[in-house]
Amino acid sequence: MKKSLGAVAAAAAIAISLSACGGGSASSAESAKGEINYWLWDANQLPAYQQCATDFQKANADITVKITQRGWEDYWSTLTNGFVGGTAPDVFTNHLGRYGELAENKQLLAIDDAVEKDNVDLAAYNEGLADLWVGQDGKRYGLPKDWDTIGLFYNKAMTDSAGLTAEQMAKLDWNPQDGGSYEKAIAHLTVDKNGKRGDEPGFDKNNVAVYGLGLNGGGDSSGQTEWSYLTNTTGWSHTDKNPWGTHYNYDDPRFQESMDWFAQMVEKGYMPKLETTVGASMADTFAAGKSAINAHGSWMTGQYTSYKGLDVGIAPTPVGPEGKRASMFNGLADSIWAGTKKKDAAIKWVEYLASAECQDVVASKAVVFPALKSSSDKAAEAFKAKGVDVSAFTGHVKDNTTFLYPITDNTAKVKGIMEPAMDAVVSGKKPASSLTEANNQVNALFK
């Protein structure tokens, strides 16, 4: 209680004048009967997990699961308020970029004993996913639930009229000097208001009707969907080691060269200006026919393929200078709050979420790829049944061309520094060499 009063006071002191910061709290469990609260942020996945909860309750009549979905924007601050105020959910969907800090502040329950006692087979998950959730102290803070990789969504009508076949789209290569066949394809797909293509003489870069490549934003510290699928094919990686690196590498010439190329795409008129991307979502502008290719995450597959009258293909990300593709491999997990009063029920629920029963249900809804290998395959089939070929995403896992989301301490602060720095580069205000200065600031956080 002492803690919570202090925190409320602190929040109030700072927020006297901050109005409208989302509040709210989850109703805490009233009795030992066993209602557990579970939070997730992705509304698309809610139906699948609701189904899991119903099945779970059938098998465990004494436990009820109350699921709350909260948008990503408020998710983490509401969760933090809950930790301090004692109203946090017993179980919640956790993110790699966040859990290190939460574990360090002792907000997560280590579940090693339960995992051992209940014989959870960690080898059944896609490679590396289970290890991600072992903290710096060697303890396990979550069981993996899903994973995602990056691919190229493209407008088939546009590639057809540009004379690009699906085979060609699947065999693109890229390098930071001339952009390889990837840049050639993007240039050819770019069309100005007079109908001239980006690689034709007389192309008017100031009046572009269709951009070859869409832009989501500057990509801040991770560049998950924006640029990491390119930068990390050069042999560069975000940090000295992963997970738990203590040094970031935004000063590396390979990275800066890649980012200069990326910014040039805007300069050449092949990619929209950063300032025009504030507001409408990248997927919606793609659907409106404003871009031909969008690099985006596998979790967006449902949205891209659901626009009426839009024929969408999915190509793998291009092959880089070292002869390999690269995709960030991000995975979520379910974690238990250290302050839960329903520890055993929470463990049961987490193990159920991580089991084939639940992950097969998730797979059948064809929204994300479950963490279990067997369920992953089922998800791919479910997508196929909907007429969507997701091999561009699964290929990364099969060919082992993934790299992990950078897991370090201070991730929120790193993002705070890198977001404006990357925006300045992508908007052409500063050269990529300016990232060295930002990198020094980032690395100063680890001293």
Partner 1 sequence: MTTITKLPDPVAGGSKPQHRGKTLLRAGRGRRLGDLRIALLFIAPAMIGFIFFYVVPTIRGVYLSFTEYNILGDPEWVGLDNYTAIAQDPLFWNSLAVTGQYVLINIALQTALALGLALLMHRVAKSTLIRGALLLPYLMSNVIAALLWFWMLDYQIGVVNQFIEWAGLPRVAFFGSEEWAIPTQALINTWRHMGYTALLIFAGLQAIPGHLYEVAKLDGASAFQTFRKITIPLLRPVLVLVLVVTVIGSFQVFDTVAVTTQGGPVNATRVIQYYIYQRAFTESDFGYGSAIAVILFLILALVAFIQMKFLKGNESDLD
Nearest to partner 1 of 202, 279 (CB atom): 279
Residue among 329, 407, 358, 326 at smallest CA distance from 141: 407
Q: Give 177 or 207: the residue with its C-beta nearer to partner 1.
A: 207
Rounded distance, CA 34 to CA 345, Å?
7
Nearer to partner 1, 62 or 275 (CB): 275
Among candidate residues 339, 329, 351, 401, the one with its CA nearest the CA of residue 108:
339
Smallest distance from partner 1 to CB 4, Å: 10
- Other Cβ atoms closer than 10 A to 155: 26
213 close to 202: Cβ distance less than 8 angstroms = no
Minimum CB distance to partner 1 smaller for 10 or for 59: 10
Residue 5 exposed, middle or buried by CB count within 10 Å (0-12, 13-18, 19+): exposed
Name residue 125's beta-bridge partners.
372
Shortest separation between residue 280's beta carbon and partner 1, angstroms: 5
- Write down the least CB distance from residue 365 to partner 1, Å: 30
Minimum distance of partner 1 from residue 223's CB (angstroms): 16
Least separation in angstroms between CB 392 and partner 1: 27
Write down the least CB distance from residue 200 to partner 1, Å: 23
Cβ at position 310, least distance to partner 1 in Å: 17
What does the binding site for partner 1 look like in residue numbers (CB under 8 A)?
Answer: 6-7, 9-10, 12-14, 16-21, 77, 80, 83-84, 101, 105-107, 273-280, 284-285, 288, 290, 412-413, 416, 419-420, 423-424, 427, 429
Kindly report each contact of residues 413-418 with a partner whose C-beta sits within 8 Å and lies 24 or more positions away, as own/partner.
413/445, 414/221, 414/248, 414/442, 414/445, 415/97, 415/220, 415/221, 415/222, 417/221, 417/441, 417/442, 418/220, 418/221, 418/250, 418/442
With CA atoms as reference, report the closest residue to 127 among 376, 302, 421.
376
Q: Provide the H-helix boundaries in 66-193.
A: 72-85, 96-104, 112-117, 156-161, 166-170, 180-189
Which one, 138 or 279, has the nearer CB to partner 1? Answer: 279
Cα 414 from Cα 443, distance rounded (Å) = 9
Q: Which amino acid is at 206?
A: N
Closer residue to partner 1 in complex, CB, 279/387: 279
**124 or 445, CB closer to partner 1?**
445
Other beta carbons within 10 Å of 20? 5
- Residue 93: beta bridge partners? 334
- Report strand pairing: 91-94 vs 35-40: parallel
Query: Cβ distance 214 to 291 under 8 Å?
Result: yes
Pairing verdict, β 143-148 and 91-94? unpaired
Q: Which is nearer to partner 1, 39 or 329 (CB)?
A: 39
User: What is the closest distance, in whole angstroms, from the C-beta atom of residue 276 to partner 1 in the complex?
Assistant: 5
Q: In terms of CB distance, is 386 or 429 closer to partner 1?
A: 429
- DSSP H helical ranges for 331-372: 343-353, 356-364
Min dist. Cβ of residue 361 to partner 1 (A): 34
Two tokens at 339?
């302050």
Residue 38: CB minimum distance to partner 1, A: 21
CA distance 259 to 423: 11
Give 268 or 413: the residue with its C-beta nearer to partner 1. Answer: 413
